[in-house]
């Protein structure tokens, strides 16, 4: 649309024709290139990561089947084990990735850190290094395009969609600037990242 307007503005007055070069020149002089780059960033930020969609979709179908079996034929021990794994994943994210590694709320011994990494892995929310980096980014750039969990993109996106879509280019740029040197010094987190 902007190219067409720029071309019309730069049209040859005798013929009414405009060249693409003239249009691109007029576009480059104004805010057109910024708008074009912004539009590209928006398209890239809306790119769906189909392998993850398929993986999480299959995981949820398997979970539904598991829930059916849980009520149809599971033993009490299986039900208890399922509840334990569910809780362990939650603790791995909350006490591990969030409180320990992201916010440094407490110090943990090596055995506890190993346990928290294993529990965090059960939650399928990326490795701790990426989770903590993105969460620090979230706190620093809340509700902007640099926020990986930007709630202005909707409820679904801020809770699940961020796992299924490519990060916004602003978030990708700012992620390189977030200090995660403390996390990189933890050999257990580094092992999980590999």
For the chain, the residue count is 194
Q: Cβ contacts of residue 4 below 8 Å, gap of 6+?
A: 23
pLDDT digits (tens, 9 = 90+) for 16-39: 444 444 444 444 444 554 555 566
Number of domains observed in the structure of the chain: 1
Residue range of the domain that includes 78: 47-193
Does the predicted model carry a pTM greater than 0.85?
no
pLDDT digits (tens, 9 = 90+) for 53-83: 999 999 999 999 999 998 899 999 999 999 9
Phi then psi for 108, rounded to 5 degrees? -125, 145
Average pLDDT over residues 144-166: 90
Residue 100 lies in a domain: yes
Residue 129 lies in a domain: yes
At 5 the pLDDT is 40
What is the pLDDT of the chain when averaged over all its residues? 82
Residue 167 lies in a domain: yes
The number of beta carbons lying within 10 Å of the beta carbon of residue 104 is 11
Across the chain, how many H-helices and E-strands are there?
12, 0
* pLDDT score of 167 more than 50: yes
């Amino acid at each position: 649309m902007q190219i067409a307007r720029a071309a019309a503005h730069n049209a040859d007055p005798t013929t009414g024709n405009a060249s693409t070069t003239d249009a691109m020149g007029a576009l480059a002089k104004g805010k057109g290139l910024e708008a074009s780059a912004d539009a590209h960033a928006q398209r890239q930020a809306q790119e769906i990561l189909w392998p993850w969609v398929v993986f999480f979709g299959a995981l949820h179908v398997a979970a539904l089947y598991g829930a059916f079996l849980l009520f149809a034929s599971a033993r009490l021990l299986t039900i208890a084990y399922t509840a334990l794994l569910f809780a362990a994943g939650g603790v791995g994210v909350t006490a591990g990735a969030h409180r320990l590694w992201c916010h440094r709320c407490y110090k943990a011994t090596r055995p506890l850190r190993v346990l928290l990494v294993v529990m965090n892995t059960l939650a399928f929310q990326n490795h701790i290094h990426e989770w903590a980096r993105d969460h620090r980014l979230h706190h620093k750039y809340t509700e902007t395009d640099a926020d990986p969990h930007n709630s202005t993109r909707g409820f679904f996106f801020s809770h699940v969609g961020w796992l299924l879509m490519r990060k916004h280019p602003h978030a990708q740029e700012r992620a390189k600037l977030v200090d995660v040197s403390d996390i990189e010094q933890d050999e257990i987190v580094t092992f999980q990242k590999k």
